[in-house]
């Protein structure tokens, strides 16, 4: 019964704040207007991530003060680092949504947020060795690994945020799966369980308004916050990196493919396009909702596999996921070419 309380608090806070943020965005004309690479037909308010952040922030403060999220894994410095990091992402997101910052200005906020998180003490101490035991890392290596891990996760959800409800829905699923995983290895009512449920509640409450046709978008701050907080949860839950990779494997591999293609073929890492997996699904004829649900199901399928696999099994599952993505991308491209050649 205790587990439902953190989820409901953040869920209803998100439902409360989202309409308020929507009106705020409309008042100050912070909207995403239709145009190139945009599939919506009318201006949609941005800043939706601010509603998720407020629900998350207030919920964390509440359960922090009553002692529910402080234990042997998570201390007060961690919580302060996470909240400050999240706040920086929101400030950067607001400025970008309002003034359309340049790429180097955009990335300065996630980098600053991650550095503050690391200073608070959050780093990768170890990972499970697929052949048995664990691989421990020193302070410097642990900080470097955590920095790049959080940066990758932050930009994974940023680039995933291309269809209504996609990034917020995948984040909800991922948070729930991290919560379920924590039940198998953690103590009852652990801090990581509570934090995962708070994230799930906040993003699900927002998803009600973000589902197609969306009434409000995540915006820059929301899209990077989702990946950032999932990356943090993976670290503080005991370096469950392989688990998080399985849960977020589809969007992570999609991002890897996009980055490689932009670097070696388009010669521009910052130039946007419509070649992400979710856009490919639309090109072959899936509706907006069908494409999103399809990606939800893939996330669930590979995410649930993490519940039953040991470390070596997760490595095998990641290899299977990689092969699956290659086949999927090839099939979608072939179908698209055949469809447009008729």
For residue 136, the 8-state DSSP code is: E
Least confident range from 167-176, 216-225, 243-252, 256-265: namely 256-265
User: Cα separation of 131 and 315, whole Å?
Assistant: 10
Report the distance separating Cα 229 and Cα 231, nearest Å: 5
Quick one: which of 226, 220, 219 has its CA closest to 44? 219
3-state SS, residue 316: helix
Q: How far apart are CA 10 and CA 337, in angstroms?
A: 45
Task: Name the pLDDT band for 232 (thresholds 50, 70, 90).
Answer: very high
Half-sphere exposure of 158 (CA within 13 A, CB side): 21
288 near 211, Cβ under 8 Å?
Answer: no
Check whether 205 has a pLDDT greater than 90.
yes
Q: Are 214 and 22 in contact (CB under 8 A)?
A: no
Helix (H, G, I), strand (E, B) or coil at 128: strand
pLDDT over 90 (residue 298)? no
CA–CA separation, 234 and 225 (whole Å): 14
pLDDT at 138 exceeding the cut of 90: no
Average of pLDDT values for 57-77? Answer: 87
pLDDT classification of 211: cutoffs 50, 70, 90: very high
Q: What DSSP designation does 263 have?
A: I
Q: Look at the block and give the residue holding tokens 């900080």.
A: 143
Strand partners, 123: none
pLDDT at 195 over 90: yes
E-strand stretches of the chain: 31-32, 44-45, 126-128, 134-136
Q: What is the separation, in whole angstroms, between the first and last Cα of the chain?
A: 57
Question: Over 90: is that where the pLDDT of 89 sits?
Answer: yes
Q: Which tens digits make up the pLDDT trace of 260-291?
A: 766 666 555 555 556 667 777 877 878 889 98
pTM of this structure: 0.89
pLDDT band for position 91 (50/70/90)? Answer: very high
Angle at CA of residue 176, ends 52 and 237, nearest 5°: 95
Mean pLDDT value across residues 16-45: 84
306 vs 285: CA distance, rounded Å: 31
**8 A C-beta contact, residue 52 and residue 203:** yes
Cα 167 to Cα 302: distance, rounded to the nearest angstrom: 17
Closest CA to 207 of 296, 137, 277, 136: 296
Q: What's the rounded Cα separation, in Å, for the pair 75 and 58?
A: 18
pLDDT (mean) for 103-107: 90
């Amino acid at each position: 019964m205790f587990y439902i309380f953190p989820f409901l608090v953040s869920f209803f806070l998100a439902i409360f704040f989202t309409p308020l943020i929507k009106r705020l965005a409309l008042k100050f004309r912070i909207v995403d207007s239709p145009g190139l690479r945009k599939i919506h037909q009318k201006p949609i308010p941005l800043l939706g991530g601010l509603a998720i952040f407020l629900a998350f922030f207030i919920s964390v403060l509440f359960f922090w003060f009553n002692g529910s999220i402080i234990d042997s894994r998570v201390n007060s410095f961690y919580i302060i680092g996470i909240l400050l990091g999240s706040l920086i992402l929101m400030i950067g997101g607001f400025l970008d949504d309002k003034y359309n910052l340049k790429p180097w200005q955009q990335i300065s906020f996630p980098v600053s947020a991650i550095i503050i998180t690391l200073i608070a003490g959050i780093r990768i101490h170890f990972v499970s060795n697929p052949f048995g035991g664990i691989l421990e890392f020193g302070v410097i290596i642990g900080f470097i690994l955590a920095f790049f891990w959080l940066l990758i996760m932050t930009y994974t959800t940023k680039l995933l945020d291309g269809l209504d409800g996609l990034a917020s829905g995948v984040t909800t699923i991922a948070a729930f799966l991290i919560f379920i995983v924590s039940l198998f290895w953690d103590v009852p009512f652990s801090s990581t369980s509570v934090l995962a449920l708070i994230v799930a509640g906040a993003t699900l409450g927002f998803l009600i308004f973000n589902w197609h046709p969306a009434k409000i978008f995540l915006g820059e701050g929301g899209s990077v916050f989702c990946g950032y907080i999932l990356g943090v949860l993976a670290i503080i839950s005991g370096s469950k990196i392989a688990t998080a990779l399985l849960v977020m494997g589809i969007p992570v591999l999609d991002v890897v493919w996009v980055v490689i293609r932009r670097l070696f073929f388009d010669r521009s890492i910052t130039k946007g396009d419509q070649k992400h997996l979710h856009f490919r699904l639309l090109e072959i004829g899936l509706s907006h909702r069908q494409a999103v649900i399809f990606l939800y199901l893939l996330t669930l399928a590979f995410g649930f596999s993490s519940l039953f696999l040991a470390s070596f099994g997760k490595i095998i599952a990641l290899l299977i996921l990689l092969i699956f993505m290659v086949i999927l991308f090839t099939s979608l491209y072939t179908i698209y070419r055949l469809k447009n050649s008729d």
